[in-house]
Amino acid sequence: MTVVATALRWAFLVAGVAVLAAFLVSAARARTTDTRFGELVDALEKRWFAPGQVFFAVLAGLAGSWAAGWVGGARPPLLESVPVLFPLGIVAAFVVCRTGGGAGGKEDADRDGRTFLVKLLALLAAPLLLGGVMTGW
């Protein structure tokens, strides 16, 4: 299980850094065309990842870590869990924003069911399970 946890940590760390780097490149390009800061923040929340979604996914991962510790694993301290789970939160929020469930709330009516399912899976179910494996089991 340690090998799986280590592989998941590295995979989400690389994916999270890639998403942040892509956003920074996009923001630098937009900034050179005199885009205002507020427009960059809107682009961050609608096209890349919303900070509230990242926070929620990290909290779900912490709940998974606590549950894994309760079932029989060893739950690490909060200061060790959050840095491990933060890239997971970035990737989960990025998945939600790219599949139409961004923070803007402008999803099409025919996609509401799918959007809710993606939010449920990406922001709650996956971090809950992966958080337990990555930090607690």
Q: How far is CA 22 from the centre of its chain?
A: 15
Mean pLDDT for 85-96 is 89
Q: Averaged over 38-42, what is the pLDDT? A: 84
- Coil, strand or helix at 99: coil
Question: Which among 71, 70, 86 is positioned nearest to 134, based on CA atoms?
Answer: 86
Best-predicted range by mean pLDDT (34-38, 90-94, 115-119)? 90-94
77 pLDDT more than 90: no
Q: What is the mean pLDDT of the chain?
A: 82
Distance, in Å, from the CA atom of 20 to the CA atom of 8, rounded to the nearest integer, reads 18
Please, what's the b/e burial string for 71-89 (b: 16 or more CB within 10 A of its CB; e: otherwise)? eebebeeeeebbebbbbbb
